[in-house]
Structure 1
Amino acid sequence: MNILHLTQSEGGGAGRAAMRLHLGLLQASINSTTLVTYKESDLQSVVTPAKQVGLYKILQSEICSGILKEFFGRTTTFSVNATPSFLLNQIENLRPDIINLHWISREFLKLEELQRLKTPLIWTLHDMWAFTGGCNYSGDCDRYTNTCGACPQLASSKESDLTRWVWNRKAKAWKNLNLTIVSPSTWLAERAKASSLFKDLRIEVIPNGLDTQKYQPFSQQVAREVLNLPQDKQLVLFGALNASQDKRKGFQLLLPALQSLSQTGWSDRLELVVFGASEPENPPDLGFKCHYLGQLKDNLSLALAYSSADVMVVPSYQEAFGQTASESMACGTPVVAFNATGLKDIVDHQQNGYLAKPYEVEDLAQGIVWILENTERHQKLRFYARKKAEKTFSLGIQASRYLSLYTEILANK
């Protein structure tokens, strides 16, 4: 069985998730190859386009992003996907039995080209783009359940706008494909099932995996020494790529929760740690001293950051899954999140974390207090957080579930 994964890069949330599945399959002795434009590892099983095609794809992605930013103020949060990939010959030469699509939206593989792929397709969703008119996340808009158009993200009042054009292209391109959808969370699977484009397709839920040997609890004292963090404070961790700028990640909801908390007896007991962003020139008043770790790209640094904290807060407004939450739990650090979207599948309320009422700032603050105020309870939460990660998110479990799906699809080919 030869599995080919297609994703733009090894980095970012989608790229990291795709690579973890790839590595899990390799560990299970499955022939797995990943084709990316941007390669970061030295794995021979990760391949890139021919040199001239690779250069074209990098320019293609940057030009298309520049056009979107110029006319709509959108870059990575919206994709038209309108240019040819020149990857079809290379894909065919890799002779896959199944092609597993991941994040292909940003001009990686033109959507009309899927009709020319002769093998069964599995699309692992990492956001909503595959079934919308171009946005990665729809926010409060549900126009993807019909035919898009009049897109609020593009400030459009026209029914026949850019999103309607993209939707129509997808409706034609997805027709008659041998396509199975995999969602990492129940919430995203429900959104896909409600969409006009995927409502008739088979949709399976398989959580994203991670290496629970790399993401495991380290000594909190040692972790803090390495990261130059205080030993005498309880630390609240918040992390995301461009954490304080990406509104979907919920920093604007965390901020008032922390400011409210600082007015209580916790003001001298807590400090904050943020990774994924460096300290801004004019940092906001968070109510507590804040340590900015910048972007942490290697597993060890991330595991140390999680292990250094007493609680992780993931206040996302919309999240396909929430890998920072599963990583934190694997390191034995309980998580506070809103009882919404993909995070509901990761955090079990008052068992390994706290699920606040969406999107109530005061309950988010209360969740932090509930986790930290009782030492005995906190130790139990840490224990069960690690157990949940081992039981649900290990690479072996994820690979086994995908392998069962691959085998079934090939048997029915």
Structure 2
Amino acid sequence: MKVLHLNTYDANGGAGRACVRLSDALTANGVDSKVMVFYKFGQNPAIDTFSETPIQRAKAIYNIISERYWSKWLSKSLKTPFSLQWFGRSIKNHPEVKNADIIHLHWVNHGFLTPKFLAELDELEKPIVWTFHDSNAFTGGCHVRYGCENFHRQCGECPVLKMSGKEDASHKTWLRKQQAYEKMNFHIVAPSRWMANSIKFSSLLGTRAVNVIPNTLETNVFKPYVKKEAKKIFKIKPEKFVLLSGFMPSKNDKHKGTPYLLEALEILSRKADVKTEDIELVIFGNKENAEMPTFPFKTTFLGTIAKDEHLAKCYSAADAFITPSLEDNLPNTVMESLACATPVVAFRTGGIPDMVQHLQNGYLAEYENAEDLAEGIAWLYHHPERREIEKQARLSVLTNFAEEIVAAEHIHLYETLLSLQPK
């Protein structure tokens, strides 16, 4: 069984990481699995690209830049990711695509596969599986919905677009997707229950079959280290209560919820039973040119961390990982933190409740409630059995998201789809 995974990028973004991790897990469980990307950033020799030659790379860059430019030009400055999918490339005649038994789609925006080129893949008469890493596949362009329900109908009247109306670009994109999907027989994988429920309300794909299968990660890489020793690596005193967060304010990612993090930390610092000198904040993944806010606690900025082994030690050094995300499918950072036995404090939103069990391996705060987010941090800060919560964090990943478990669920799906093919 040859499985070919298709993604726009190799390791640039959460979908790329999830795609590569799944392929590695399948390979480790005896499947001939391969990843091909539209544009390759990394050096992993196991990942191939459709843009090998200088001309192909130039065309790919043109597609990517054009798609992003026009989407940005037509959108309001709402910090909402949006794709028009006007630019793309046909891949149906590529040898790797033609030789695959299963075509597994992941994130295919930014100039890679338009609805037209997606529909072409059905001509190959192979089972197609599509993992939805965000909402774009069933909307008129947006990747993050923020409560907008226009996708229940046929989009249009889009709150993201400058020129909004019944026949706007979102509605026209919806129609192009409808036309393509009517020609396609593909099976949907939703990494979270939240995503699966969203698909059911979609006017485009609400009647399609959906399997809820989570993403996975490298449990032998993201693993617990002795907390005191991990803190020592980052020159943090072992008695400090360390808060870790994985992003900084972004001009493009409103859904990351940074203002709620800042407000929650201010609320926490004013609590009578919290000593600010006992707490240290560690931030990784921030952009060097980002404007840094003032935090009420001593703060260490680690910047971008390239090696996963080093990132695992960051998680292990923390007593709590804080993510104020407002809409996320199944965020990698939450799973990585739990795998390193670090409890997570987050809003009850998206796929996060699939990973964080309230008061067991972390704390789920009321949506958009900074005060409750601060309460969750204080809960861990004062908890007398914090080590038990840390054990539950690691156990929850090994039980539900380990490589062999997620691989087995995908293999079962692949085999089922292959058995339904005409002999």
TM-score where L is the length of structure 2: 0.93
In structure 2, what is the Cα distance between the partners aligned to 1:328 and 1:309? Answer: 9
- The aligned runs of 1:48-59 (5 Å cut-off) are 48-49=49-50, 50-51=52-53, 52-59=55-62
Kept in 1: contact 2:63–2:110 (CA 8 A): no
Kept in 2: contact 1:98–1:120 (CA 8 A): yes
In structure 1, what is the Cα distance between the partners aligned to 2:91 and 2:248? Answer: 29
In structure 1, what is the Cα distance between the partners aligned to 2:257 and 2:143? Answer: 16
TM superposition shift of 1:37 = 2.6
Pick one of 214, 231, 238 that aligns with 1:207: 214
Kept in 2: contact 1:313–1:337 (CA 8 A): yes
Of 361-370 and 68-77, deviating more is: 68-77
1:380 to 2:380 alignment: no
Unmatched runs of 5 consecutive residues or more in structure 2: none
Partner amino acid, structure 1, of 2:296: G
- The aligned runs of 1:278-317 (5 Å cut-off) are 278=287, 282-317=291-326
Deviation digits for residues 28-54 of structure 1 (CA, Å, limit 9, x no counterpart):
121111111333454443111231323
Q: Give the secondary-structure state (helix, strand or coil) at the position aligned to 2:22.
A: helix
Of 398-407 and 219-228, deviating more is: 219-228
Deviation digits for residues 150-184 of structure 1 (CA, Å, limit 9, x no counterpart):
11112443111110110000000001411111011
Q: Give the secondary-structure state (helix, strand or coil) at the position aligned to 1:337.
A: strand
Pick one of 406, 416, 419 that aligns with 1:398: 406
In structure 2, what is the Cα distance between the partners aligned to 1:176 and 1:281? Answer: 45
Q: Give the secondary-structure state (helix, strand or coil) at the position aligned to 1:36.
A: strand
- The aligned runs of 1:82-231 (5 Å cut-off) are 82-90=86-94, 94-117=98-121, 118=124, 119-231=126-238
TM superposition shift of 1:93 = 5.3
Q: What residue is the counterpart of 1:7 in the other structure? A: 7
Instruction: Give me the identity figure in percent.
Output: 35
Q: Give the secondary-structure state (helix, strand or coil) at the position aligned to 1:271.
A: strand
Kept in 1: contact 2:97–2:103 (CA 8 A): no
Deviation digits for residues 326-370 of structure 1 (CA, Å, limit 9, x no counterpart):
100000000011122110100001110111111211111010111
- The aligned runs of 1:254-403 (5 Å cut-off) are 254-264=261-271, 265-278=274-287, 282-375=291-384, 377-403=385-411
Q: What residue is the counterpart of 1:66 in the other structure? A: 69
Q: Give the secondary-structure state (helix, strand or coil) at the position aligned to 1:109.
A: coil
In structure 1, what is the Cα distance between the partners aligned to 2:59 and 2:25? Answer: 31
Kept in 1: contact 2:138–2:205 (CA 8 A): yes
In structure 1, what is the Cα distance between the partners aligned to 2:387 and 2:131? Answer: 35
TM-score where L is the length of structure 1: 0.95
Kept in 2: contact 1:244–1:277 (CA 8 A): no
In structure 1, what is the Cα distance between the partners aligned to 2:291 and 2:20? Answer: 36
Deviation digits for residues 365-399 of structure 1 (CA, Å, limit 9, x no counterpart):
01011112124x21110000000011111111111
Partner amino acid, structure 2, of 1:5: H
Of 247-256 and 397-406, deviating more is: 247-256
Judged with a 3 Å threshold, the aligned counterparts in structure 2 of structure 1 residues 142 and 47 are, in CA distance, closer, same or farther, namely same
Partner amino acid, structure 1, of 2:400: T
Deviation digits for residues 103-140 of structure 1 (CA, Å, limit 9, x no counterpart):
00221112211222121111101000000001111112
Q: Give the secondary-structure state (helix, strand or coil) at the position aligned to 1:272.
A: strand
In structure 2, what is the Cα distance between the partners aligned to 1:186 and 1:168? Answer: 26
Kept in 1: contact 2:80–2:160 (CA 8 A): no
Partner amino acid, structure 2, of 1:79: S
Kept in 2: contact 1:278–1:292 (CA 8 A): no
Q: What residue is the counterpart of 2:38 in the other structure? A: 37
In structure 2, what is the Cα distance between the partners aligned to 1:56 and 1:86? Answer: 12
In structure 2, what is the Cα distance between the partners aligned to 1:179 and 1:281? Answer: 41
Unmatched runs of 5 consecutive residues or more in structure 1: none
In structure 2, what is the Cα distance between the partners aligned to 1:238 and 1:359? Answer: 17
Deviation digits for residues 244-291 of structure 1 (CA, Å, limit 9, x no counterpart):
862211111111111011112332211111111046664212211221
Kept in 2: contact 1:3–1:31 (CA 8 A): yes
Kept in 2: contact 1:121–1:180 (CA 8 A): yes
In structure 1, what is the Cα distance between the partners aligned to 2:363 and 2:352? Answer: 11
In structure 2, what is the Cα distance between the partners aligned to 1:255 and 1:241? Answer: 10
Partner amino acid, structure 2, of 1:179: F
Q: What residue is the counterpart of 2:241 in the other structure? A: 234
In structure 1, what is the Cα distance between the partners aligned to 2:259 and 2:251? Answer: 8
Number of equivalences: 412
Q: Give the secondary-structure state (helix, strand or coil) at the position aligned to 1:372.
A: helix
In structure 1, what is the Cα distance between the partners aligned to 2:344 and 2:43? Answer: 33
